[in-house]
Amino acid sequence: MDERPRFDTRYAVGIDQVDREHQKLFEIAGRVHDGLTTDSAAATAAARGAVAELLDYTETHFASEEKLMAAAGYPELEVHRSLHRGLIAQARDMEMRVELGERHMPLELNRFITAWLVDHIMTHDRRFGAFVAAQAASSA
């Protein structure tokens, strides 16, 4: 089975609040992974609860991140917001399919969560971090 998602310093974007929120997302994603990769009814129930928590916290995180982007005058805010909406829609669809009992969905959901966290942070969120760092450097 795929490796448990873990936050490490290479995922840091250089904005303390965003990095703390990303760490929490990885922690919740790790609990999803544990539940989806353990074969027991209790683990499956725990995974379902963790998926719901992950999606709820993700929406909170996205709103927080978008607020920071707006305050910084980030020119890619609307594109980023659109990416957030798409990720939430995909994750909600997968959550529903897991609930309906589609056999392959736990593995697919686990892979999606890990890829989404890593890809989105490394590509899009780091770009925002670089923008904020450049702003700070130019005003120093």
Range of weakest confidence among 22-26, 93-97, 105-109 = 105-109
pLDDT band (50, 70, 90) for residue 131: very high
Amino acid at 77: L
pLDDT at 109 over 80: no
Predicted local confidence at residue 2, as pLDDT: 66
Distance CA(98)–CA(107), nearest Å, equals 10
Q: Tell me the domains of the chain and their CATH numbers.
A: 9-139 (1.20.120.50)
pLDDT at 68 over 70: yes
The single-letter DSSP state of residue 38 is S
Distance CA(47)–CA(79), nearest Å, equals 31
Phi/psi-derived region of residue 112, left when phi > 0, alpha when psi is between -120 and 50, beta in every other case: alpha
pLDDT band (50, 70, 90) for residue 78: very high
Q: Going by C-beta distance under 8 Å and a sequence separation of 6 or more, which residues neighbour residue 111?
A: 2
Question: Which whole number is the average pLDDT over 48-65?
Answer: 93
Predicted local confidence at residue 1, as pLDDT: 46
Average pLDDT, the chain: 89
